[in-house]
Amino acid sequence: MTATQPGVSTALVYDESLGAYDLDPAHPLRPERVSLTIDLIRAYGLLANGALELVAPRPASSAELLMAHDARYIETVIEASAAPGWWRPRRGIGPGDTPEFAGMHDAAALVAGATTVAAEYVCDGRSRRAFSPAGGLHHAHRDRAAGFCVYNDVAVAIAAMLHRDPDLRILYLDIDAHHGDGVQEAFYEEPRVLTISLHEDGRYLYPGTGSARERGAGAGLGSAINLPMPPYATDECYRLAFERVVAPAARESRPDVIVTQNGADAHWSDPLTTLGQTIAGYEWLFARSVELAEEVCDGRLVACGGGGYAWATVVPRVWTLLASALAGVTLPDELPAEWRERVRALGYEPPASLRGDDGPAHTHAQRTSVLEATGRVIDEVVRSRSL
């Protein structure tokens, strides 16, 4: 791995062409969650002042896609891209979660390439940290689409990093409300990749996987850690999980690079999930992730976006705070007027401030109960890793 040069700004891998990943105008995974994030980042001046360096994405090559997906599946995606409306559903593509659309292969390959570029910037030493906000499509499997995800950009990027440097050790941390099943599956027997997923318990939320008993297999036994969070899990629950499991596992595994998936759908107001994170809770997690990267791998961190279905009012604020943490900048709480007007023009009442958040209406007893339930999950994980 190339030594990182001091003072290099954080890479932001994005251009407007990434908005082509649009499953349907009525689909909950809106490309505007990314474009509104970029608008807010610009409005705060993070590009103009050099805190972030805008980097153009490129499509993932066929060779790179084949590192995470089988050839027949890629052929299927290409076929579906050319036949929207006439498609016979197969390999997870069709009505429902992941419908076909014109240009789907090109759009999905560009997302995969964007995250791969972010990984290259960090591994080559061009930047200590990089952000691929359109990335984080963590449900796609080797042979099928799933959960709004066509190609698994995270798995493609990690596989590409390992291909370039076989001695690399990678920690993947996923805080999306949904279990990072596709990434876990891709590296379940790979000892060089430790996957950690904090997600709503699969007994209550898609994809139904991610129990604490899923720990890896074969040579990769112990290389998967799952923390199924109870419904309504609060900021306190996430902090406890981070300090008791994530940080110790990172110190033990000593990765060369940390890759994070930062779905904003664990927020208490998300319409598709029932967790209890707040904006402040996310900001804390981002700060700690950066601190942990500084501690264990000289700050090398590749961050992706992910889910988030309060796409106009929550996701852009969460991911702008992620960008500011990666850049080492503290943002004022007052939202720029031009961004508030953009949100209003889309038919939404803009938030009052960057960090403003009422939070879930838990009683003291409820907060205590959910914290105790989280503690039991953490205890199970800690015991299993000490065996």
pLDDT-derived band at 220, boundaries 50, 70, 90: very high
Instruction: Calculate mean pLDDT across residues 251-277.
Output: 97
pLDDT-derived band at 130, boundaries 50, 70, 90: very high
Percent pLDDT > 70 in the chain is 98
CB contact set of 295 (below 8 Å; sequence gap of 6+): 250, 251
Q: How far apart are CA 29 and CA 34, in angstroms?
A: 10
Of 69, 105, 138, 139, which one is the catalytic site residue? 139
pLDDT for position 333: 98
Pick 10-386's CATH classification: 3.60.21.10, 3.40.605.10, 3.50.50.60, 3.40.800.20.
Answer: 3.40.800.20
| pLDDT exceeds 60 at position 323 | yes
Q: Is 303 helix (H, G, I), strand (E, B) or coil?
A: strand
Helix axes 32-43, 315-327, angle to 10 degrees: 50
pLDDT for position 5: 40
pLDDT-derived band at 358, boundaries 50, 70, 90: confident
Q: What is the pLDDT of residues 69-85, one digit of tens each?
A: 999 999 999 999 998 88
Instruction: Calculate mean pLDDT across residues 164-175.
Output: 98
Q: How far apart are CA 204 and CA 19, in angstroms?
A: 31
pLDDT-derived band at 1, boundaries 50, 70, 90: low
Nearest to 114 by CA among 7, 240, 26, 15: 15
Q: Report domain extents, the chain.
A: 10-386
The whole model's pTM is what? 0.96
Q: Is 168 exposed, middle or buried (0-12, 13-18, 19+ CB in 10 A)?
A: middle
CB contact set of 167 (below 8 Å; sequence gap of 6+): none
Instruction: Calculate mean pLDDT across residues 339-358.
Output: 96
- Is residue 139 part of the annotated active site? The answer reads yes
